[in-house]
């Protein structure tokens, strides 16, 4: 049975920032491609979240690579999956420690 996917406020803001940036600096086709990859990731998450690797030892946080610059981090719970953040890999990785 597919689990419900919830998107944290942080992740929603991340997605909004990424799509705004892509639209301003690239074009609508790039935005559509990003959104398509994100939706594909969400679809696959609901079916089999264990297919994605654990991001950090001793946590249940997993990661899904959306593009070479964006990675979605999520945590699986018994009846839901929560997207914690969509992290830009060009940032300082220490920022990610505070999030996950």
Is residue 66 over pLDDT 90?
yes
Task: Quickly state the pLDDT bin for 1 (edges 50, 70, 90).
Answer: low
pLDDT at 100: 82
Q: Which residue has the tokens 């839901």?
A: 80
Query: What values do phi and psi take at 18, rounded to 5?
Result: -65, -45
Give the mean model confidence (pLDDT) for residues 12-23: 96
Which contiguous run of DSSP H or E holds residue 70? Answer: strand 70-76
Write the CB contacts of 38 (distance below 8 Å, at least 6 apart in sequence): 15, 66, 72, 86
pTM: predicted TM-score of the whole model, two decimal places = 0.91
- How many structural domains comprise the chain? 1
Which CATH number fits the domain that encloses residue 32?
3.30.2310.20
Q: Residue 89: pLDDT band by 50, 70, 90 thresholds?
A: very high
Range of the domain at 37: 4-99
Under the banding of pLDDT at 50, 70 and 90, the label for residue 21 is: very high
């Amino acid at each position: 049975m597919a689990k419900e996917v919830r998107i944290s406020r942080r992740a929603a803001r991340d997605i909004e920032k990424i799509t705004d940036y892509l639209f301003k600096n690239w074009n609508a086709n790039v935005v559509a491609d990003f959104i398509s990859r994100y939706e594909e990731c969400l679809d696959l998450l609901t079916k089999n979240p264990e297919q994605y690797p654990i991001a950090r030892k001793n946590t249940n946080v997993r990661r899904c690579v959306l593009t070479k610059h964006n990675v979605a981090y999520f945590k699986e719970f018994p009846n839901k999956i929560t997207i914690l953040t969509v992290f830009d890999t060009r940032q300082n990785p220490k920022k990610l420690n505070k999030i996950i």
